[in-house]
Chain A
């Protein structure tokens, strides 16, 4: 794949050009050591060295609340609603890229989710090699350290003001050249990018899974009755924070309201969470996962086995957001999976 060299001083000009065609979103420092993606404007300071954002990027593709249809009560007609803004996400880390690539597959499978896919088609993704690894991240050991698909451009900083930019799509290449031709990367620059990636990978090896990630589905299939589910979930506040910050959680509820006219209305979907006690409740009051331990187990099975059974990838990309978001300090996939692998080895 082609690769080019871009100098930092060229970026303001390029960003301005891109912003004419897309809503550009970049990582910013939101204070207290926290980061998040935010709309870019000329005054925006991009947090090049962010470790992880508080929120996952799924909100650009599956918004927390998204209208699905409008309806008319007078004749019971209904119309689909599709909003798909042209947007460019600049600075997406590989684990989030993996999460998006995974969601792409799941939303395409079976009955394709047009609302998601339309948003995805209008979204350009510029990935970026992390410069720092978050304290709670463990993506290298979950196979989330590198993604070869799903990006339009992949940026790696190889000097104080020099970026090595790998092309992932024609759209990406056209946007890169929007301000004029750029020099192709030389062989030493290819090497420099590879070394930079290896360096970040080594520095992130501190937190790791004690088995290869491919083993997890097998380990989980033997751990249905493990005491770990009960032990760890006794503190669960059933707040659903781990679901909300997870880049691969996409469960939703469907709600609606009627306008003041009482003639028309709208139906939308909004993020839901399998950790909430009402999630698996059915008519008549029967709840298929009424206990915290059952909901907790379901979440780890979904990440470690069910998604794998569908697409051959783990549903956990190792970003560690849930570890930070959990006020009860029980949401820790790394600790859970490591404990289960130890149990399985005994």
Chain B
């Protein structure tokens, strides 16, 4: 008998909450430090599994850019179920368990020298922020940065101050819209596809990074491809599924024959356009 091998990817590592920041009525930004002192070493678009012991574990996109030499990272969480509510109840100094980072990422090097349109529907800004902040940190390496953000209503906007700061920069173009307006909102009203015709694009030189609710993808991709003539192989999307194990085994995040947790969550559109369950 060979000796049993006893490494398990199921054992989380400890991380400590260092900062909470309210982003909207239900969404909070959490900054953690890995207790082992090491950087999380993630790539933009990847996710981690976060545990509150006794309550459970859930997958979250990493919202901060990769930071060499720093053990800090951020996630932004909507209070919607047991784990997310437990996270909201944590105070600075409390611990969580983390596993990962898992999955594929946006191909950062492919975007170098090119223009990028970020298309964020609802909470889609959270995972896209990791790539966006990476590009801003290395601003000279990238072309135009166009950020399109759509929310259901003005109350659901998140990262408001950060987005206002972005809009104030002369090297970033920010376009926002809400599906349903109220008196306080003077911006664009309509679905996120209404933002696309507002910018003139160098389509040969433009990549799209998109995250949003399931219903958004087909409409935006349709607009990008047929109205704007962006080549489908320059469109990247991140797909949310119920990732349980993060290792491609448990079957919950299957999209047809592939697993979102290892083959995704970030996909090049041309790699998934034939998968019926993808979008």
Q: Which residue numbers of A lie inside 8 Å of B, CB to CB?
A: 68-69, 71, 73, 75-80, 82, 84, 86, 106-107, 109-111, 113-115, 117-118, 121-122, 224, 250-258, 262, 265, 267, 269, 272, 274, 279-284, 286, 288-289, 298, 301-302, 305-306, 309-310
Please measure, in the bound complex, the distance between the C-alpha atom of A71 and the C-alpha atom of B15, giving whole angstroms: 14
Contact of B7 among A71, A80, A86, A255 (CB under 8 A): A80
Top 9 closest A-B pairs, CB basis? A80-B8, A251-B251, A306-B257, A76-B14, A258-B54, A76-B95, A78-B11, A111-B247, A68-B10
Interface residues of B in 84-127 (CB under 8 A from A): 84, 95-97
User: Does B256 have its Cβ within 8 Å of any Cβ on chain A?
Assistant: yes
| Inter-subunit contact A251/B250 (CB<8 Å) | yes
Please measure, in the bound complex, the distance between the C-alpha atom of A265 and the C-alpha atom of B15, giving whole angstroms: 18
A-chain residues with CB within 8 Å of residue B214 when the two chains form the complex: 286, 288
Question: Which label, helix, strand, loop or mixed, suits the secondary structure of the A interface?
Answer: mixed
B-chain residues with CB within 8 Å of residue A309 when the two chains form the complex: 257
Distance (Å) between the CB of A43 and the closest chain B CB?
Answer: 29
| Inter-subunit contact A121/B244 (CB<8 Å) | no
Contact of A280 among B35, B84, B241 (CB under 8 A): B241
| Inter-subunit contact A114/B7 (CB<8 Å) | yes
| Inter-subunit contact A110/B242 (CB<8 Å) | no
A-chain residues with CB within 8 Å of residue B213 when the two chains form the complex: 284, 286
| Inter-subunit contact A254/B245 (CB<8 Å) | yes
Distance (Å) between the CB of B51 and the closest chain A CB?
Answer: 8
User: Does B276 have its Cβ within 8 Å of any Cβ on chain A?
Assistant: yes
Contact of A69 among B2, B11, B84 (CB under 8 A): B11
Given A77-B14, A253-B250, A282-B242, the answer on whether A305 and B53 have CB atoms closer than 8 Å is no
Given A75-B14, A306-B257, the answer on whether A80 and B250 have CB atoms closer than 8 Å is no
Please measure, in the bound complex, the distance between the C-alpha atom of A84 and the C-alpha atom of B4, giving whole angstroms: 8
Given A269-B250, A306-B257, the answer on whether A121 and B2 have CB atoms closer than 8 Å is yes
Most chain A beta carbons < 10 A, residue from B13, B14, B54, B262: B54
- What are 13 A-B pairs at a CB distance below 8 A? A69-B10, A80-B6, A80-B7, A84-B4, A109-B248, A113-B249, A262-B54, A265-B54, A272-B252, A280-B242, A280-B254, A283-B84, A306-B256
User: Count the B residues whose beta carbon is within 8 Å of the partner chain — how many?
Assistant: 48
A-B contacts at CB below 8 angstroms, number: 141
| Inter-subunit contact A121/B4 (CB<8 Å) | yes
| Inter-subunit contact B80/A288 (CB<8 Å) | no
User: Does B31 have its Cβ within 8 Å of any Cβ on chain A?
Assistant: no
User: Does B74 have its Cβ within 8 Å of any Cβ on chain A?
Assistant: no
B-chain residues with CB within 8 Å of residue A283 when the two chains form the complex: 58, 78, 80-81, 84, 240
The residue in chain B whose Cβ has the minimal distance to the Cβ of A278 is B242
Q: A252-B249, A258-B53 are in contact. List 17 more A-B contacts (CB 8 A).
A: A71-B12, A71-B53, A76-B53, A76-B96, A80-B8, A82-B8, A114-B6, A118-B6, A121-B1, A121-B4, A252-B245, A262-B54, A280-B242, A283-B80, A284-B213, A288-B241, A310-B257
The residue in chain A whose Cβ has the minimal distance to the Cβ of B240 is A282
B-chain residues with CB within 8 Å of residue A252 when the two chains form the complex: 244-245, 249-251
Given A76-B97, A80-B10, the answer on whether A110 and B248 have CB atoms closer than 8 Å is yes
Contact of B95 among A75, A79, A122 (CB under 8 A): A75
